[in-house]
Amino acid sequence: MNKPSPASKASLVLNSLPATAMGFALCVQISALSWLLSTRYHLAIHEIGIVWAAGPVAGMLGQVLVGLSSDRTWLWGGRRRPFILLAGITSSLSLYLLTKIDKLAGALGIADLVIVAGAVALALDLSINIGLNPARALIADLTPEGESRTRGFSWMQAMSGFWGVVAYLIGAFIGNETLIQAGCLIVLVFACATLFVKEAPVLAKTETAHASVSTGTEWPELWKIWIAHGFAWFGIQAIFVYLIAFVQAYLVPAAAAGAAASGKVVAVSFAIMNVVGFIVPALALPRASGRFGRVRVHAACLALMAGACLAIALFARSQASLYVLMAVAGIGWGAVISLPFAIMSEKIDRQRMGFFMGIFNLSVVIPQLATTQVGFLLAKGAGAHTLFLISGTALLISCFLWTLVADPGAAPRQLGSVAAR
């Protein structure tokens, strides 16, 4: 196949940049959206949840169609390239509009900011979804199954995680306004990196012949993976959306409950989680997966994240304790956005990789949509610590469900080759 060597670190970095672009846009959204809606536009916590729900709706409408189309498209020298470039442009524009929601509402003559904010969030999330699935499918297209596939997705997460940390640090120490402005440029530039990635119109014949024996679609296993992944994302998305409520309730004194104070705690928390999240895939997951199997390693990481969430609910009443436990949660976060894609990609027909990536992402967006109920629960007077009780429970359920997924593991001889790299 006409592609960079999967053993080349330069090619691994280049192949990871499109997914990093979409990941950076998502990190800007996570860091700034709830903060912006709460502090500048003064929306209630349940209204913030409604705005966030726009994204999952976009995902359900577009992801499968985009995935299927990217399997059958050849335009501008690539199958995935057109979607990634379109996503980069529209994501940058949507990020810019985040700080102009009030002016946009005035220009359109719409009094309800929730409607306009939801529309902008819808555009941003739809843009991210247009690009993220093809960007992930690109990694699978360019890597053979087994160790190289795990390494490709681990590098993708390491790159995305590093730049996610950069995003959160900008938000914490310079400001979310600056983060949004920087995001517009970074997302566009990284998405354009796909112009330098060489794709092939079809899979190489030798690879297809090899895959035909081992990568037929395993529907029972896919359903197990989708359900297990869905519970994990329910727990994680709830944290992304409503951490601001926990911080304002327990960690920022009432006298200091300004925008900068709460925004900084949220941004630093996610920065710490992402530091661990990009280190773990780069240094630990390939080695551990080669020894113990991907599924078992993933379940163990989820268990650690669940324990961290429950500990936050019960004990985190200072910024320091929150930061330490968010670091532990980062172990699970690093696994969630790297290992499931590698596991799933080897249980499907590779010729339909984009389509199945789109279907797979429904196990993300449907749980994301369901998290709006957490916002209504908090609005009705439930303590903000309830957020982490719910998240921890969902992650524990996911951990159990992942243990039901068949895990072929890895041959012991692969461990040395992974370590040598």
What CATH number does the domain containing 63 carry?
1.20.1250.20
**Residue ranges in 142-258 assigned as alpha helix (H):** 147-173, 176-191, 205-214, 219-246
Q: With cut-offs at 50, 70 and 90, classify the pLDDT of residue 266.
A: very high
Q: Which of 319, 336, 325, 334 is nearest to 276 (CA)?
A: 334
Domain membership of residue 1 (yes or no) is no
Dump pLDDT digits (tens) for 166-212. 999 999 999 898 999 999 999 999 999 999 888 876 554 434 444 44
44 vs 32, 111, 156, 263, 379, CA distance in Å?
16, 16, 36, 16, 8
Range with the lowest mean pLDDT among 10-19, 178-187, 282-291?
Answer: 282-291
Residues 108, 92: Cα–Cα separation, whole Å: 21
329 in a domain, yes or no? yes
> Which SS3 state, helix, strand or coil, does residue 75 take?
strand
> Domain tally for the chain?
1
Note the pLDDT of residue 384. Answer: 95
pLDDT at residue 370 in the model: 92
Share of the chain above pLDDT 70, in %: 86
Position 3 in a domain: no
Polymer length of the chain: 421
For 334, the domain range is 9-420
Flag whether 104 is in a domain.
yes
User: Is there a domain that residue 187 lies in?
Assistant: yes
The token duo for 139 is 């990694």
Examine residue 2 and state whether it is found in any structural domain, yes or no: no
d(C-alpha 299, C-alpha 297), whole Å:
6
Average pLDDT of 25-46?
91
For residues 118 and 49, the answer to whether their CB atoms sit within 8 Å is no
| Each residue's pLDDT tens digit, 122-161 | 889 888 878 887 888 888 888 887 778 778 887 887 888 8
In this prediction, residues 8-15 reach a mean pLDDT of 86
Is 4 within the bounds of a domain?
Answer: no
By three-state DSSP, how is residue 108 classified?
A: helix
Q: Which two tokens stand for residue 408?
A: 């072929």
State pLDDT tens for residues 221-234: 999 999 999 999 99
pLDDT for the residue 258: 60
Distance CA 398, CA 66 (A): 27
Q: What is the spatial distance between Cα 165 and Cα 169, in angstroms, rounded to a whole number?
A: 6
What is the model's pTM?
Answer: 0.79
Position 235 scores a pLDDT of: 98
Angle of helix 386-402 relative to helix 372-379, nearest 10 degrees?
150
Euclidean distance between CA atoms 52 and 125, whole angstroms: 9
In a domain, 238, yes or no: yes
Q: What span, in angstroms and rounded, lies between the C-alpha atoms of 336 and 331? A: 9
* Between 369 and 238, residue with greater pLDDT: 238
